[in-house]
Amino acid sequence: MSEATQDFARLLDACRRGDADASARLVRLVYGDLRRLARAQRGQVAAPATLNTTSLVHECYLRIAGSSVGSVASRHHFFNLASRVMRQVLCDYARQRLAEKRGGGQVRVTESVLDAEGHAEASDLVEIDNLLVGLEREHERAARVFECRYFAGLGEQETADVLGVSLRTAQREWNLARGWLAERLAG
């Protein structure tokens, strides 16, 4: 077990016991990795400039710390959960932007080319998220692999480690997810 993994486990246990200092140290321990995940997610899904990397990291951490920290079993589990939460944050933001475009803001403004591109990107993200719900029902592990690879920007081995599967299994599930999604996006 690596030193970072041991530190994470020790700090997580202290957090569960209510140690506020341990919680602050845990944030410092994972902050750089969360920023890397957030940068990868923002780059992958062309997130709008108003939702910057720092905002995504903070929103992700607040959601995890607010409701899920007690259920986190390990460092790998934490980063798997973080990739899912980042997906949710980005998709919630995209849905909000789409709702505003449909009249949620009440002020009608002519759409510029940039607004149209942002709208298309938000629509694509929401469509992928909706398809992932179906993929989860049929092939849950493939959906988790897709989240790690597409939304969190993890490599093959990182994805395998985070999900606790072999590299070959992660590769097979990635291919399954991509094929499944491509078939539905094309049809």
Return d(Cα 162, Cα 30) in angstroms, integer: 14
Q: How many domains does the chain have?
A: 1
Nearest-5° angle of CA 176, CA 181, CA 184? 130
Return d(Cα 24, Cα 5) in angstroms, integer: 17
Q: Element (H or E) spanning 158, and its range?
A: helix 156-163
Q: What percent of the chain has pLDDT over 70?
A: 79
pLDDT of residue 178: 94
Return d(Cα 154, Cα 146) in angstroms, integer: 10
List of residues 6+ apart from 38 with CB closer than 8 A: 53, 54, 56, 57, 60, 86
Residue type, 51: L
- Polymer length of the chain: 187
pLDDT of residue 69: 62
Contact by Cβ (8 Å): 159, 149: yes
Return d(Cα 14, Cα 186) in angstroms, integer: 49
Q: Residue 181 belongs to what domain range?
A: 3-186
CA-to-CA separations, 130 to 12, 46, 68, 138, 180, in angstroms, rounded: 33, 18, 23, 13, 13
User: How many Cα neighbours within 13 Å face the side chain of 26?
Assistant: 26
What tokens does 166 get? 């072999």
Instruction: For the chain, list residues with pLDDT below 70.
Output: 1, 41-50, 66-70, 100-122, 187
Return d(Cα 141, Cα 15) in angstroms, integer: 29
List of residues 6+ apart from 46 with CB closer than 8 A: 121
Is the pTM higher than 0.75? The answer reads no
pLDDT per residue as tens digits for the range 105-142: 444 444 444 355 555 666 777 788 888 899 999 999 99
